[in-house]
């Protein structure tokens, strides 16, 4: 019940396209859903996060869509650039306790010029 399933495992998109990465969770108690971006040899960096009281959140070219009834959320990257090439992780947790993020397995995104 603690799993977060992420797909696809890898994704290649042409510059300007809109890569979409999907995640599904099982634990209905989760109420915090962040996305992290990780470049090779670096630690993950928080990109954007959403709470289940909204269905969409945008920050710059990054958008999270959230479907509470389906227990799914996804990351969209508008006007993707080669510099967006990285591994993306979704995660989920329940705020308000000693929070432990449950991570998806990651998506390696490559944006080709």
Partner 1 sequence: SQTIHQWPATLVQPVGSPLSLECTVEGTSNPNLYWYRQAAGRGLQLLFYSVGIGQISSEVPQNLSASRPQDRQFILSSKKLLLSDSGFYLCAWSADTNQPQHFGDGTRLSIL
**Residues of the shown chain interacting with partner 1 in the complex, contacts defined by CB under 8 A:** 4, 6, 9, 34, 36, 41-46, 49, 89, 95-101, 103-106
CB of 106 to partner 1, least distance (A): 6
CB of 90 to partner 1, least distance (A): 9
For partner 1, the closer of residues 56 and 99 by Cβ is: 99
CB of 100 to partner 1, least distance (A): 5
Cα–Cα distance between 32 and 52 in angstroms, integer?
Answer: 7
Q: What is the CA radius of gyration of the chain?
A: 13
CB of 15 to partner 1, least distance (A): 26
Q: Give the burial string for 38-49 (b: 16+ CB within 10 Å, else e).
A: beeeeebeebbe
For partner 1, the closer of residues 3 and 17 by Cβ is: 3
Establish whether the linkage from the previous residue to 111 is cis, with ω within 30° of 0: no
Residue-level length of the chain: 113
| Nearest to 83, CA basis, from 61, 111, 56 | 111
For partner 1, the closer of residues 11 and 17 by Cβ is: 11
For partner 1, the closer of residues 96 and 113 by Cβ is: 96
């Amino acid at each position: 019940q603690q799993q977060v399933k992420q797909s696809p495992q890898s994704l290649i998109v042409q510059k300007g396209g809109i890569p979409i990465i999907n995640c599904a969770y099982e634990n209905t108690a989760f109420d915090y859903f962040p996305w992290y971006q990780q470049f090779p040899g670096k630690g993950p960096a928080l990109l954007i996060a959403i709470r289940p009281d909204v269905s969409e959140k945008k920050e710059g070219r990054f958008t999270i869509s959230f479907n509470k009834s389906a227990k799914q959320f996804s990351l969209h990257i508008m006007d993707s650039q080669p510099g967006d090439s990285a591994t993306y992780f979704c995660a989920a947790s329940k705020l308000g306790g000693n929070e432990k993020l449950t991570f998806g397995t990651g998506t390696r995104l490559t944006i080709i010029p």
